[in-house]
Structure 1
Amino acid sequence: MIRKRDGFAVFTGIWTALFGAFVAITVSAQQAAQPDNPNADVLSIGGSVTEIVVALGQQHRLKARDTTSSYPAGVTNLPDVGYMRALSPEGVLSVGPSLILSEEGAGPPEALDVIRAADIGFVEVPGALTAEGILRKIAIIGEALDAQDQAETLSAEVEADLAKALADADRPEADKKRVLFVLSTQGGKINASGTGTAADALIRMAGGVNAISDFKGYKQITDEAVGMAAPDVILMMDRGGDHGAGDDELFAMPAVRLTPAAQTRSSVRMDGLLMLGFGPRTAQAIQMLNDALYGQGA
């Protein structure tokens, strides 16, 4: 007679075997669908991490990527394991990486626990909101890929580009424009950036002032709070839907229509990965936003 405890053990063993078979079948399918590349061994999670891998000349090492990794365009041909904050162990392990490079903030935590327990190298790359943080990312990824010389070269180039962009964007405090970053307008409500975010850091680097400074992170704010923020410019990502409402819709919103930005119809839209990624192209993002705020070559 089988006791309940024994039955659970049998069930667990069967589930484990089935999961192992699923992974093996999926790995075989992925390998069959991809060109034979014996050097491909890395799963890159996080758009800026993937950009750095490519900038280091290590794109041939990439075996798979996450959904946020969409630049350069060639990486989108790789298997996609899903959104970095909603990963599944099955999806990650199915591509058979020997090394995972993951941007800080990937998850959920329980999925990462399973992934970390597998016999796979796992390197977490800290997030960055400063020039120094970007250089640290490059160094960590370069070491993980045994590409330290390439990392030193890339770091020198990125450091010089950032120094120039920051110097060009510097201006007196009294001349700075107030910028409101709107993450979404879902349900007619403004979800905006406070301090401590990539949007906040970029606005400041580009010579602007974040119009919201009384909370950290992103959150939905009231119409009154938008009015009190009095932004001169609305900054958004350049995608449609709730994350990128058009000017007519944006400036007609009750929360926005009485702001200085609405009076002059001043809005800026930028590629989300370029704007918020904080990677090798951040100097370009700083220059683009500065030009948009103050005019070309400001």
Structure 2
Amino acid sequence: MKTMANRGLPNRGLRGLAACLLVWAFGLGSAQAAGLQVTDDRGVTVRWDAPPQRIVTLLPSLTETVCELGQCHRLVGVDRYSNWPASIAALPRVGGGIDPNVEAIVALRPDAVLLAQSSRVVQRLEALGLKVVALEPKSHADVQRVLGKVAQVLGVDAQATQRIWRHIDAAVSAAAQSLPARVKNTRVYFEVNRAPYGAGTSSFMGETLTRLGVQNILPASLGPFPKLNPEFVVRANPDVIMVGDRNFEGMTQRPGWRSIRAVREERLCVFPNDESDVLVRPGPRMAEAARLMARCLQEKAP
């Protein structure tokens, strides 16, 4: 009886091992079948068998995010406005986010196209069989979320995104701490387009201003980037105005604007194009944007 029992043990062990191997193989097959999937800002779930290796981006902040995650080498085409980092200079340009060259994009045979949710060509690209991920950050929380979504698309470890976000968040806090007490509560207007459109309190730029301890003349109720009646700014009478060089021409000639304190006392920060690009892109260079705003406030706040 003892001998029979001993003979049975190896058989049961082998059967158990075989069962474990079968479960493992089934699990591996299921994982491979499931592949990679990401739900974009439209609520659409996009799937791949493996992380995409040929990527086209149609928004500068998304281009910068891909590169910040160390995956610049996967980019095969970018929009006409993407200009950072320098390593992407030789990449094919496929138009803008609003007016991309669909034929040029298809010719690049991308595994994934990353673009803004507001882009007009999403459905057309999908109809041509391309995998499209629509992502459009507008707030600090959005920047963190989109960083994570792009990392998912790329198959990058989530810990990398956490490290990047912690660095951004800490740098914005450091910029705020660098400001002298006299700057606090300065009333600021940031013009993002000469229409004019301003950066509201609920925008990522407005959130940065709030963290720097100043007051945005545009309330959150107006939305992230409201179009304004120029008279509104005159009545608000900001202490400091921030604007990119592209949008500065003619600003001080608007009716009544010479009476604005910021204009009258020459408290305007006119950012050159390279700095303006940093400021208006909700991406990984948001920490640098905070430092630029802080520098402006140190120099111009009353």
TM-score, normalised with respect to structure 1: 0.71
Matched, 1:285 2:289: yes
Deviations 1:49-71, CA, capped at 9 Å, x for gaps: 11111112111111000123111
Task: Verify the 8 A CA contact 1:40 1:63 in the aligned structure 2.
Answer: no
In structure 1, which of residues 166, 183, 189 is the aligned counterpart of residue 192 of structure 2? 183
Q: Does 1:115 align with 2:125?
A: yes
RMSD: 2.7
Residue 261 of structure 1 is matched in structure 2 by 262
1:77 partnered with 2:90: yes
Matched, 1:156 2:169: no
- SS of 1:236's equivalent in the other structure is strand
Query: Could you report, residue by residue, the CA deviation over 1:133-162 in whole angstroms, capped at 9, with x for unpaired residues?
Result: 3222221111111222xx522431331342
Match of 1:201 in 2: 207
1:52 aligns with 2:81: no
Find the aligned partners of 1:204 and 1:104 in 2 and give their Cα distance: 26
Residue pair 1:193, 1:219 contacting (<8 A) in 2 also: no
1:222 and 2:230 correspond: yes
Runs of 5+ in structure 1 lacking a partner? Answer: 1-38
Given the superposition, is the C-alpha separation of residues 86 and 197 from structure 1 closer, same or farther in structure 2, using an over 3 Å criterion? farther
Contact map agreement 1:66 1:83 (CA 8 A) in 2: yes
**Do 2:61 and 2:283's aligned partners in 1 also have CA atoms closer than 8 Å?**
yes
Q: Name the aligned partner's letter for residue 128 of structure 2.
A: A
SS of aligned partner of 1:226: helix
- Aligned to 1:218, the other structure's residue is in SS state coil
Write the mapping of 1:30-179 to structure 2, written as runs, cut at 5 A: 41-105=54-118, 107-108=119-120, 111-130=121-140, 132-148=141-157, 151-166=158-173, 168-169=175-176, 175-179=184-188
Measure, in 2, the Cα distance between the counterparts of 1:158 and 1:197.
Answer: 18
Preserved CA contact (<8 Å) 1:206 1:287:
no
Query: 1:82, 1:174 → 2: CA distance?
Result: 41
Is the partner of 2:142 in helix, strand or coil? helix
Aligned counterpart, 1:22: none
Once the two structures are TM-superposed, the CA of residue 215 in structure 1 deviates from its matched residue by: 2.2
Given that 1:44 and 1:102 are in contact with CA atoms closer than 8 Å, whether structure 2 keeps it comes out as: yes
Q: 1:76 to 1:153 in 2, by over 3 A?
A: same
* Unmatched 5+ stretches in structure 2: 1-51
Identity among equivalent positions (%) equals 22
CA pair 229-158 structure 1, distance change in 2 beyond 3 A: same
By how many angstroms is 1:236 displaced?
A: 0.8
| Aligned residues of 2:183 and 2:297 also touching (Cα < 8 A) | no
Q: Distance in 1 between matches of 2:263 and 2:67?
A: 40
CA contact (8 A) 2:187 2:238 kept: yes
Deviation per residue, 1:160-181 (Å, 9 max, x gap): 3423422541688993211112
1:99-130: per-residue Cα shift (whole Å, max 9, x none)? 1122333x21xx21111223222222241411
Q: Deviations over 1:8-37 (max 9, x none)?
A: xxxxxxxxxxxxxxxxxxxxxxxxxxxxxx
Letter of the aligned partner of 2:209 in structure 1? I
